[in-house]
Structure 1
Amino acid sequence: MWQQIIMGIIGLCAGFAIASGAVALVIGLGIIPRYAGVTKTPEHILWYEDCCMLGTILGTLAYLWKGSIPLGVPGLVLYGVFAGIFLGSWIIALGEVVDIFAILTRRIGLTRGLPWVILAMAAGKVLASLLYFAKGWW
């Protein structure tokens, strides 16, 4: 029994360490200040960082907890919409910080059709996500 308790504590600490590293990467890249600049709320940067850490901790705990919250399909749809908005906004903020599209287009010589490339990437992500969840590959 003690071995299981110790392994649980070690696993929880490892999860917190990995999640904190991911948050440190997001903060270290300057995504949060850029996100605050885009939304014109630079006075809330510390609050954004606190929410990022709190979300990481709560997400880790929610992943480990195998219970369910009985909100039904409307709750699932609402969660999906907000999670998609959140993830999309962070992806856009990361793209602006590292300028990956500018570097990619310059290196491959893409001068026309960049909006179509971005649209194709977004459509591919959506279709792959739908296929992933429809097939139950999790």
Structure 2
Amino acid sequence: MNSARRPGLLWVLIALLTLEFLALAALAVTLLVEVLVAPATSVASGIALTIVAFIAAAWLGAIVVGTLRGQAWIRAAAIVWQFLQVAVGVGALQGTVAQPGWGWPLIVVAAVVFLLLFAKPVVAVTSARRDTP
């Protein structure tokens, strides 16, 4: 896809998805360092969480690349990610150790990305099915 044909809202979507990817990749690296330096009470749980974080980061990275290419599959994948992100954000707002400082930003960014995924210019760019990669 030619970058001159990309609408502004698509660039905003790409920027927000990239921000989410970078934050998740940083979290995955932090979890890896924590597992190696200061093992959790349950080492198996710490390793599993780290692996899941790396898989999620790879998935989100693929969504970013797919968005840059204007591929249709990214809308469904990004919607699933936004719902997961809202769930984590809501969880961060609850309980005795609530963290509204990062819970609310997760929810707000997810809501904005969700709305952008349904914006007409974004849908127009990501609706075309291409046979060539």
Alignment TM class, shorter chain as reference: 0.3 to 0.5
TM-score when normalising by structure 1: 0.35
Which one has the largest radius of gyration? 1
TM-score when normalising by structure 2: 0.36
Is the helix fraction higher in 1 or 2? Answer: 1
Higher RCO (CA 8 Å, separation ≥ 6 residues): 2
